[in-house]
């Protein structure tokens, strides 16, 4: 993958500004452009506090374009997209049609149909598509994956995933009810917002045979999306309990993986992992990696290992398929079977 000389940014909210800051550090000589639909987010520091002493243009040597036509007229090599979920797919497809490489914020699309359209556009493009699932580069996630791939805990028995946060505290500088995560028209809701662990699950053990899920709507919080979901995934020989909420006071990202000869416990908030392997080894592992470090690892992978990027398409589509199925079960209140023949091709 070629090193980008011209980078276009679509969306410069909190996530977009993180990408801009890291890209400017990694590619100091690159020309950088932006085309912003709205300008609700001020210049932010790395800790997401407001920086009143400069501007995006001055701090990052960024040219702000008045239109997309002007922006693409500069012929960018790479387009970084950090916009509401409902807009992501269309923006990615446009960039790929212009033969640009693309880095998109998760979930990349709001359903399987849109995901298939992105992959189809990529197959016709000279550019490559990367979905920003930076948590997959966390050292404890990588270590757990290696144990599972090596069958170090024996046969899988069950997996428990619990993810929670408090969306009103995410961005103190704005009303949480205006965030895309809290708006149905912008593709919000906890399922697509907290989708990292679904991606991890699918990349680890594939798709389940069936799903049953229940949700709670956020009308009491002044939002029109689901804020909590509890689901069970049946894989035939083992089960997965999946609980997510973004209106909870206590933040947690925990994954418990239990086999018949060992177990693995992950705490991604604390960066802590404990495990017992089938060879009798019991140990703990701690990583203090920052979120920025995970983004940097992701960038290094994107520009050095095209095979991993291509293989990501399978997990991207399967994750959206699983998210669609969870939504359908929440609506119907019934178990939903998963027919993998409905997946679009990604080869």
Q: Kindly report, residue by residue over 132-178, the tens digit of the pLDDT.
A: 999 999 999 999 999 999 999 999 999 999 999 999 999 888 899 99
| Structural domains in the chain (count) | 2
One domain, residues 127 and 169: no
CATH number of the domain encompassing residue 298: 3.30.360.10
One domain, residues 97 and 214: no
Cβ contacts of residue 317 below 8 Å, gap of 6+?
112, 115, 116, 119, 343, 344, 346
**Residues in the chain, overall count:** 347
Question: Is 91 within a domain?
Answer: yes
Mean pLDDT of 44-69: 94
DSSP letter at 345?
Answer: P
pLDDT class for 346, splitting at 50, 70, 90?
Answer: very low
Structure confidence by residue, pLDDT tens digits, 112-123: 999 999 999 999
One domain, residues 96 and 153: no
**From 170-174, 234-238, 295-299, 319-323, the region with the lowest mean pLDDT:** 170-174
Selected residue with higher pLDDT from 146 and 346: 146
pLDDT class for 84, splitting at 50, 70, 90?
Answer: very high
Between CA 292 and CA 298, with CA 295 as vertex, the angle to 5 degrees is 155
One domain, residues 121 and 71: yes
pTM of the predicted protein model? 0.94
What pLDDT shows up at residue 345? 67
Nearest to 134 by CA among 170, 205, 82: 82
Question: Is 206 within a domain?
Answer: yes
End-of-domain residue from the set 100, 134, 168? 134
- Structural domain boundaries, residue 44: 6-134
One domain, residues 233 and 332: yes
Mean residue pLDDT across the chain? 94
pLDDT class for 308, splitting at 50, 70, 90?
Answer: low
Question: Is 308 within a domain?
Answer: yes
Question: Are 288 and 271 a contacting pair, CB within 8 Å?
Answer: yes
Say yes or no to pLDDT of 302 above 80: yes
Question: Is 267 within a domain?
Answer: yes
One domain, residues 104 and 148: no
One domain, residues 121 and 150: no
One domain, residues 206 and 125: no
Say yes or no to pLDDT of 347 above 50: no
What pLDDT shows up at residue 305? 72
End-of-domain residue from the set 119, 134, 149? 134
Structure confidence by residue, pLDDT tens digits, 253-283: 999 999 999 999 999 999 999 999 999 999 9
Question: Is 1 within a domain?
Answer: no
CATH number of the domain encompassing residue 85: 3.40.50.720
Indicate the burial class of 258 (C-beta count within 10 angstroms; 0-12, 13-18, 19 or more): middle
Question: Is 336 within a domain?
Answer: yes
Question: Is 177 within a domain?
Answer: yes
Q: How far apart are CA 278 and CA 254, in angstroms?
A: 22
End-of-domain residue from the set 83, 110, 134? 134
One domain, residues 257 and 164: yes
pLDDT class for 307, splitting at 50, 70, 90?
Answer: low
Q: How far apart are CA 319 and CA 166, in angstroms?
A: 23
Question: Is 347 within a domain?
Answer: no
* Encoded tokens for 164: 């929670």
Before 295, cis peptide (omega within 30)?
no
Mean pLDDT of 12-24: 95
One domain, residues 334 and 186: yes
**From 172-176, 261-265, 286-290, 308-312, the region with the lowest mean pLDDT:** 308-312
One domain, residues 216 and 92: no
Structure confidence by residue, pLDDT tens digits, 187-240: 999 999 999 999 999 999 999 999 999 999 999 999 999 999 999 999 999 999
One domain, residues 280 and 229: yes
Say yes or no to pLDDT of 37 above 80: no
Nearest to 329 by CA among 260, 232, 240: 232
User: How many percent of the chain have pLDDT more than 70?
Assistant: 97
Mean pLDDT of 20-28: 95
């Amino acid at each position: 993958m070629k090193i980008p000389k011209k980078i276009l940014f679509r969306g410069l909210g909190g996530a977009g500004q993180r990408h801009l800051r890291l890209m400017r550090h990694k590619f100091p000589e690159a020309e950088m452009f932006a085309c912003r639909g709205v300008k609700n987010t001020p210049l932010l520091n790395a800790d997401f506090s407001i920086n009143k002493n400069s501007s995006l243009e001055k701090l990052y040597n960024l040219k702000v374009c008045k239109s997309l036509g002007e922006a693409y007229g500069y012929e960018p090599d790479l387009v970084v997209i950090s916009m509401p979920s409902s807009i992501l797919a269309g923006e990615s497809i446009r960039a790929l049609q212009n033969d640009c490489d693309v880095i998109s914020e998760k979930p990349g699309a709001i359903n399987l149909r849109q995901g298939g359209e992105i992959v189809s556009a990529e197959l016709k493009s000279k550019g490559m598509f990367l979905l920003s699932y930076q948590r997959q580069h966390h050292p404890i996630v990588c270590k757990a994956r290696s144990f599972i791939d090596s069958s170090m805990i024996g046969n899988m028995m069950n997996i428990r995933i619990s993810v929670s946060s408090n969306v009103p505290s995410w961005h103190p500088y704005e009303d949480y009810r205006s965030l895309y995560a809290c708006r149905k028209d912008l593709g919000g809701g906890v399922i697509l917002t907290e989708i990292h662990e679904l991606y991890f699950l699918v990349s680890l053990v594939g798709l389940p045979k069936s799903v049953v899920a229940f949700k709670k709507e956020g009308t009491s919080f002044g939002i029109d999306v689901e804020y909590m979901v509890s689901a069970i995934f049946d894989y035939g020989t083992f089960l997965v309990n999946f609980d997510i909420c973004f209106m909870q006071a206590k933040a947690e990202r925990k994954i418990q993986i239990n086999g018949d000869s060992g177990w693995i416990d992950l705490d991604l908030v604390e960066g802590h992992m404990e495990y017992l392997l089938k060879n009798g080894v019991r140990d703990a592992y701690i990583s203090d990696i920052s979120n920025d470090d995970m983004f940097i690892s992701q960038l290094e992978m994107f520009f050095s290992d095209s095979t991993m990027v291509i293989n990501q398409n399978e997990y991207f589509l399967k994750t959206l398929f699983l998210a669609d199925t969870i939504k359908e079960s929440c609506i119907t209140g019934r178990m939903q079977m998963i027919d993998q023949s409905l997946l679009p091709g990604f080869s």
